Structure formats: C-alpha cells, structure tokens
Amino acid sequence: MPASIPRHVAIIMDGNGRWAKQRGKIRTEGHLEGAKSITRMLEAAGNAGVEYITVYAFSTENWKRPPAEVSFLMNLIPKFCKDKLPELMKNGIRLRVIGRIDGLPKAAQEALKNACEKSAANNKLTFTIALNYGGRAEIIDAVNTILADKNRPADQKVTEEEFRNYLYAPDIPDPDLLIRTGGEKRISNFLLWELSYAELYVTDVLWPDFDEAEFQKALAAFGSRQRRFGEVKP
C-alpha cells in the first residue's frame, strides 16, 4: 500500500471502443464491459481509503458520436443507476453528478436524481459522474451564474476562492490524482479548473481491462511523487 493515498482521484475512462474493436465486437459491447470496470474501481478505491472518485462518463462533445451509440449510452444511464444502487448503499457510497444534466433525456435525469437522493447519507466514498460535462462549459456556467447573482455587488472583484463556489461541486476537494486509461496524453476538457495541481498518471491499459492491480499501480506512482504546488522544497 502506498504511503501517501490521494484523497480525490479523477479518471478519464478511455478505451471502451478500442477494447471492443480488438475483440471483433461492436462499440456498445465495450461500453458494457467498461461499466463493469467502474464496480471494480470503486471497490479498489474504497479498500485503499480514497474518499472521492470522479469519472468522465460523457462529455459535451460526445453528442457528435454516432446517434445509435449516443442513444445506447443514454439508455445505459438508468440501467446503471438501477443495477448499481443496491451496491452503492451496501458499501456506503454516495452518488453525485456534475455537468449540464438538464440536457440529458428525462429518464436518465430521473434515474440519476433518484440514486443521488437515496445515497445522499452515505459517507464512506463519494462517487461523482461527469455527464454532459465539459470543463469550459463549467467555467462559462460559473461566470454566467455570477453575473446573474443579484445579491452580489456588480463592482466586486471575483477571487479564486469565490469563483470556486460557483462551480458544479464546490464542496468536493480538487483531485490529487488524474488517471487516464488508453494511452492518450491529454485531459480532454475535463475538470479544467480543478485539475490545476493534480498529478497525472497515463496507462496504455484500456478501461475495460483496468482492475484493482492497475489502480494500485496508479496509487504507487502517486505515492512516489513530491507535490510542490509551486513551492521549492528540499
């Protein structure tokens, strides 16, 4: 077990489509397998003592994918919520959602709301799903909320601390570690504000193959690094 455990781990779950293609399957099979990896990852995170997990499930740009794939993913959301809720409750996991949720289909919105409400009192691990999410969209939404806030003096300068309060989940601490599976070396418009000082860990392992052993490798890499936050340390 690494000496230093990140409090908050963010994950870009990349590689479902490539995993399916390598096996001669359709892309949706990769998404189904990827959903199973979420279960393994939550168990591994809980065992390691991680308090927060945030996963990038569907971006604002993902609407550009083939309509059949988008439809499958939107239909997968209610199924995921229904199937996983008993597991979340059993393991003390609280579900949160960030993004432009009102842009999702009604069935998905209702399923997410139900799962979030029922798991709200759980306190072992907070599991946040980013859906219809974009880092730039989050910042723009925060700016527009500030502009629309009639209780705030119009001539008052915005500080970093105040701006954070207008983000989607200001009560959740910034990620300490970002894991990206699938080998790509970019953050893809994910948590642009919150990832400012996160340690980055990229693995070639495709998301459906990401298991507890791979999660432990990421934690070990994090534990070996010295976090400076702009300071000079001996």
- Residue 10 has phi, psi (to 5 degrees) of -105, 145
Query: Which residues touch 69 (CB under 8 Å, ≥6 apart)?
Result: 27, 28, 31
Interior CA angle at 229 toward 54 and 131, to 5°? 15
Does the annotation mark 62 as catalytic?
yes
Residues in the chain: 234
Distance CA 219, CA 205 (A): 15
| Tokens linked to 142 | 């925060």
Query: Catalytic pick from 16, 62, 83, 122?
Result: 62
**Measured CA distances, 34 to 25, 40, 161, 191, 210 (Å):** 13, 10, 36, 21, 9
| 83 included as an active-site residue | no
Token pair of 160 as six digits: 């970093």
| Alpha-carbon span 221 to 174, nearest angstrom | 18
Instruction: Kindly list the catalytic residues.
Output: 14, 62
